[in-house]
Amino acid sequence: MKKVFGVVLCAALMMVMSVPVFAIDINASKPSTAYSPVSLNALLEAQGLKLTPEAAANVPPTYATVSGGKVVFGKASTAYSPENMHKILTAYGLTKVDGKPLVGGAPTAYGGESLSGILAGYSMPSMAPRVAAAPAPGDSDGDGVTDNMDRCPGTPRGVRVDSNGCPVKKAMTPAPRGDADNDKVMDDQDVCPGTPRNAMVDERGCWVLGQDYLFDFDKATIKQQYYPILDDVVKVMNENPTMNVRLEGHTDSIGAAAYNKALSVNRAEAVKTYLMNKGGVAPSRLSTAGYGEDRPIAPNNTKEGRAKNRRVELTPLW
C-alpha cells in the first residue's frame, strides 16, 4: 500500500516551526528515493517559502538555475551532500536551530523519513515582511538619536546633531556647498563627514569596502586578488597615525538574521586581521562590529539595493 508523506512532514514542521502548515500528498512508499527539486520546492512553497532568483544563485545547479529572470527547477530525483542541502534550505530562509551549518558527509537521497528528519533541525522564518530591526531603547549621550543608530556616540550634551547623531558642521566659508574632507561628496550631502583623504567612499561619502568582491558567497576569507584594496586602507591609516577605525560588517536581508549578524562580524574581523598581520596596523587602532541586516543603506527588495547593503564600512574615530 502506498504511504503518503504529507501528514508526517506537516506534523514535524508544526512542532519545529510553530507556524500553520498545509499538507501536500507526496508518495513516500520508497523513503530512500530522493525527491526531485520540483517536488521539494512544492513542499516548501506550501509552507509559504519561496526561492527568489537572487537566492537561487546560491544553490547547486542540479537543484535550480535562473533563466530569463525566473527560477527553473530540476526534474530528476537527486542526492545532495549535507552541505548542499543546507544551502538549499537556507536559500528559502530556513534557519538551522543550533546555528551550525551542515558540512561533510556523502550525498544523501533525501526522501520520506530522511527529509522529515533534516527539516526537524530547521525553523521557519517570520512570515511577516522583513524590515530593519526596530531601534533599541537607549540614548546614552542624550542627543535624541538611539544608540543603535548613532554614528557618533559620545557627542557632548547640548551640541546640535543631524539624523545620524553626528555634530552639525559649521557653515563653510566662503562656499556654502563645500567639501571639507575632499571626498568629492558635498558637505550638505555627506553622510560620513571627516573621512580621511584618499579613502575610497561611496555616493554617501562613507568609507566602504564591498563584500561581494572581497569574499566568496557565505565565506569570511578575503580573496587574494583584492589585497591591493586593503593595502590602500593601510596607506590611509599610515598617513593618519592618530586615527583609529571601527570596522563595521553589514549584510542584506536574505537568510536568517542571526546567521547574517555572525557572518558580518566574521567578515569585519577578517579585514581587521589583514590590516594587522599584513599591513602592520596596531591592534589598538582597530575595533570591529557586526550589524548583520539591521542597518541597510538601500532597499532590500532589489538586487542592486542588496549589493549595496553587503559591505564593510570603515568609521574613522579621530
**Other Cβ atoms within 10 Å of 85 Cβ, number:** 24
pLDDT at 25: 39
Please state the rounded mean pLDDT for residues 7-29: 38
Q: What is the CATH number of domain 169-317?
A: 3.30.1330.60
pLDDT at 261: 94
pLDDT at 113: 60
pLDDT in tens, 124-152: 775 434 444 444 457 878 888 887 778 88
Nearest alpha-carbon partner for 204 in 272, 270, 151, 251: 151
Q: CA-to-CA distance for 52 and 115, rounded, in angstroms?
A: 22
Task: Assess whether pLDDT exceeds 80 at residue 14.
Answer: no
What DSSP designation does 129 have? P
Partners of 107 in beta bridges: none
Task: Assess whether pLDDT exceeds 50 at residue 12.
Answer: no
pLDDT at 214: 85
Judged by DSSP in three states, 87 sits in helix
Q: Where are the beta strands (DSSP E) in the chain?
A: 64-67, 70-73, 95-96, 122-123, 207-210, 244-250, 286-290, 311-317
Confidence band for 34, pLDDT divided at 50, 70 and 90: low
pLDDT in tens, 168-187: 766 545 445 688 888 888 98
Judged by DSSP in three states, 27 sits in strand
CA atoms lying within 13 Å on the CB side of residue 86 = 18
Please state the rounded mean pLDDT for residues 229-253: 94
pLDDT averaged over every residue in the chain:
79
pLDDT at 131: 41
All CATH 3.30.1330.60 domain ranges of the chain, comma separated, are: 169-317
pLDDT in tens, 189-213: 888 988 999 999 988 999 999 888 8
